[in-house]
Structure 1
Amino acid sequence: MPRLVYALMSADLLIDKDSSSTSFIRTVEHAVVPELPAVLPPVYFASLWDMEKNGGQPFTVSLNLTGPDGQDTLLGIQEITPAETALHKMNFQLPGLKVEAEGKHHVSVSIKNGDNWEVLARLPLFVFKADNTQA
């Protein structure tokens, strides 16, 4: 099974064509919205996987958004067929996330293990409503 090395969200990312190095621009851990419910701006989800013990086998990853009330929303599922490399990067853009309430949300990354899903990381996403009472 592959091992998750890191997972993060950022407003933008750049990938160097020569070195394949990734630069993350403005990591995302919170959002301020004028009203609720709201749709957040698109963000990038980025992850790096250690493939050393995977033996080149495909694996399936899912992303979920969990609200403060514990309600899960599936953001996507993707089957990964890795190349014969020791590391595998998975970067993709999430469209605007719909949030219903203020508070601590989580974006979780899970891997399918047999018939079950194993959560490997829970990225916090705090949502705050803007204070519109200031003059």
Structure 2
Amino acid sequence: MPRLVYALLCADLIIDRDSNSTSLIRTVEHAVVPALPATLPPLFFVSLWELDSEGGQPFTVSLTLTPPKGEGIMLGIQEVSPGATMLHKMNFQLPGLKVAAEGRHTLSAAIKTDSGWQTKVELPLFVFTGTNAS
């Protein structure tokens, strides 16, 4: 089973064509909106996975947004067919998340297993209105 090395939210990223190095631009842990409901600016969910030493089997990752109160909304699913390397970078581009409440929202990434989805990371995304930002 793949192991999550890191996961972050950022406003933008650059991937170098020659080295495949990723530069993260403006990491994000909160957003300030003028009023609710609101659509957040575009974000990237950036992750690096370490694959099994046997070369790795294909795996499926889901990304879910859960508001402070309520049910999670699945934002996307990506199926990964590992290549020849032991590391795999996976980025989800999130064009504009819709939020309706202030507080701690959670972006979670999970891997599909035989028994269901296994959460690997939960990243906080705090949402504040302009009058309550600190």
Category of TM-score, reference length = shorter chain? over 0.9
**Aligned runs of 1:94-105 on 2, under 5 Å?**
94-105=94-105
Residue 106 of structure 1 aligns with an amino acid whose one-letter code is T
Whether contact under 8 Å (1:2, 1:53) holds in the other structure is no
**Aligned runs of 1:1-135 on 2, under 5 Å?**
1-53=1-53, 55-131=55-131
After TM superposition, the score normalised by the length of structure 1 is 0.93
Identity between Structure 1 and Structure 2 (%)? 65
Segments ≥4 residues shifted beyond 2 Å: 52-56
Is the partner of 1:49 in helix, strand or coil? strand
Q: Over aligned residue pairs, what C-alpha RMSD do you find?
A: 1.4
Following superposition, the deviation at residue 36 of structure 1 comes to: 0.4
Provide, for residues 21-51 of structure 1, a one-character-per-residue CA deviation record: whole Å limited to 9, x for no partner: 1110000100000010111011011100001
Structure 2 residues without counterparts, runs of 5 or longer: none
Higher mean alpha-carbon deviation, 118-127 vs 48-57, is at 48-57
C-alpha separation in 2, matches of 1:15 and 1:81: 20
Whether contact under 8 Å (2:2, 2:56) holds in the other structure is no
After TM superposition, the score normalised by the length of structure 2 is 0.93
